[in-house]
Amino acid sequence: MDKIEIAGIVNLFDFEKLAVSKMTNMAYEYVASGAADEFTVRWNRQALDAIKLNPTVLVDVSQIDTSTSLLGLDLPHPILIAPTAYHKIMHPEGELATARGAGAAEAVYVVSSFTTTSLEEIAKVATEPLWLQLYVRDDRSFTKDLVQEAEYQGCMALCVTVDTPVAGARNRQQRVNFALPNGVHTPHMHDAFALTKSLTWKDIEWLKSFAKIPVLVKGILNPDDAEKAVETGVSGIVVSNHSGRNLDTVPATIEALPRIAEKVNKRIPILMDGGIRRGTDVLKAIALGANAVLVGKPICFGLACGGAEGVTKVLGILRNEFELAMALTGKATIAEIDSSVIWK
């Protein structure tokens, strides 16, 4: 049944519409919702929609090349799976289906610390690179063990979430009394409330002191923080507002991106998440200074609609739309995409 239904899906918005009927109300509210009045959730989309493109015509676009390199990885396209928690509430196969879907779509999968499947099990089915999103705990030995487990399982980078000393006012989750169903647990994170409020740049230096893989910081919106990240020696930055799930009324990530790109000045790679739903969104992010983008909620909806095939289709649609957007703006390679593509 799932295959027939997802065959008719033509864009990422369709996936969300179908997912409403596939997910429990609690699971849907968990994925779809943001913090407080959800201004930032809406702004992520509105800001992308408001950017106009400036195409160049009569360019040879017979060969579109979306390949790029990122932290030593040669990637066929600049679209990664963002870390999102609790995949077993969306589909019985959980993160195993996500990893298989990522493999078929040739995408890097950033596994959440709040995965409902062990890294060991995910690594067994993964055919494309895995990264780990990391929440630093007050128990530093616990955190160190998790980093070393990730390295042992072949994870190729750490994405340290730095914008969540506390969780935001998630009213929609509160209204549905969100809780994990019986039998679903998080093998690497036993307590959602044990996040550390004392995380500082010193802790990033501490992580770097023993991590054998690149360390990125996820949750940067302020250019001064981007400068500190470079000075601290991290390998990359993820411009993120936690998909509007923590502090409401912070700006859209696409609005923060150019300021951060200017400050970083190509010294380290910049990734961006938040609101990506169309190939034109990917193009806009790269034009404004991102090396790659991450997609979260649509992956969750794709997973709910069709398991691994749903995940693959989400990424396939986005990649195809990105290729179309490149061709229609006269850009045959990623290197050619710059701010000239944005209508000023």
302-339 pLDDT, tens per residue?
A: 999 999 999 999 999 999 999 999 999 999 999 999 99
Task: Check residue 266 and give its pLDDT.
Answer: 97
What does the pLDDT average to over 267-279?
Answer: 98
217: which strand partners?
160, 237
Work out whether strand 68-70 and strand 270-273 pair parallel, antiparallel, or are unpaired. Answer: unpaired
Cα angle 284-288-290, degrees, rounded to a multiple of 5:
90
Q: Is the sign of the CA dihedral 164, 213, 307, 95 positive or negative?
A: negative
CA distance 171 to 34: 8
Q: Would the pLDDT of 193 be above 80?
A: no
Mean of pLDDT over the chain: 96
Domain membership of residue 343 (yes or no) is no
Q: Would the pLDDT of 282 be above 60?
A: yes
pLDDT per position as a tens digit, 218-231: 999 999 999 999 99
- Is 45 annotated in a binding site? The answer is no
Domain membership of residue 344 (yes or no) is no
Give the whole-number percent of the chain exceeding pLDDT 90. 93
Residue whose entry in the numeric block shows the structure tokens 């609005």? 255
Full domain range(s) for residue 73: 2-338
- Is 279 annotated in a binding site? The answer is no
Task: Check residue 196 and give its pLDDT.
Answer: 82
Domain membership of residue 196 (yes or no) is yes
For 122-131, b where at least 16 C-beta lie within 10 A, e where not — what string?
bbebbebbbb
Task: Check residue 197 and give its pLDDT.
Answer: 85
pTM over 0.85: yes
Domain membership of residue 20 (yes or no) is yes
Domain membership of residue 107 (yes or no) is yes
For 286-303, b where at least 16 C-beta lie within 10 A, e where not — what string?
bbbbbbbbbbbbbbbbbb
Contact between 216 and 208 (Cβ < 8 Å): no
pLDDT per position as a tens digit, 135-168: 998 889 999 999 999 999 999 999 999 999 898 9
Which tokens is 276 given? 């990506």
- Is 274 annotated in a binding site? The answer is yes
- Is 46 annotated in a binding site? The answer is no
Domain membership of residue 254 (yes or no) is yes
- Is 109 annotated in a binding site? The answer is no
What's 243's domain CATH number?
3.20.20.70
Work out whether strand 158-161 and strand 130-134 pair parallel, antiparallel, or are unpaired. Answer: parallel
Domain membership of residue 303 (yes or no) is yes
Q: Would the pLDDT of 208 be above 90?
A: yes
- Is 170 annotated in a binding site? The answer is yes
SS3 325: helix
- Is 97 annotated in a binding site? The answer is no
Q: Nearest-CA neighbor of 5 among 13, 299, 162, 14?
A: 14
**How many angstroms separate the first and last alpha carbons of the chain?**
46
pLDDT per position as a tens digit, 44-95: 999 999 999 999 999 999 999 999 999 999 999 999 999 999 999 999 999 9
Q: Considering its fold, how many domains does the chain have in total?
A: 1
- Is 42 annotated in a binding site? The answer is no
2: confidence class by pLDDT, cuts 50, 70, 90: low
Task: Check residue 5 and give its pLDDT.
Answer: 82
What does the pLDDT average to over 117-135?
Answer: 98
Which tokens is 279 given? 């190939």
Domain membership of residue 21 (yes or no) is yes
Within the chain, residue ranges assigned H as helices are 2-7, 12-22, 25-32, 39-50, 94-104, 119-125, 140-152, 171-175, 201-210, 223-232, 253-264, 279-287, 297-328
Q: Is 225 left (phi over 0), alpha (psi -120 to 50) or beta?
A: alpha
1: confidence class by pLDDT, cuts 50, 70, 90: very low
Contact between 175 and 196 (Cβ < 8 Å): no
- Is 183 annotated in a binding site? The answer is no
Task: Identify the H or E element spanning 220.
Answer: strand 215-220
Contact between 270 and 237 (Cβ < 8 Å): yes
**Active site members:** 242
Q: Is the sign of the CA dihedral 5, 7, 9, 12 positive or negative?
A: positive
- Is 188 annotated in a binding site? The answer is no
Task: Identify the H or E element spanning 295.
Answer: strand 292-295
SS3 222: coil
Contact between 299 and 16 (Cβ < 8 Å): no
Task: Check residue 192 and give its pLDDT.
Answer: 64
- Is 124 annotated in a binding site? The answer is no
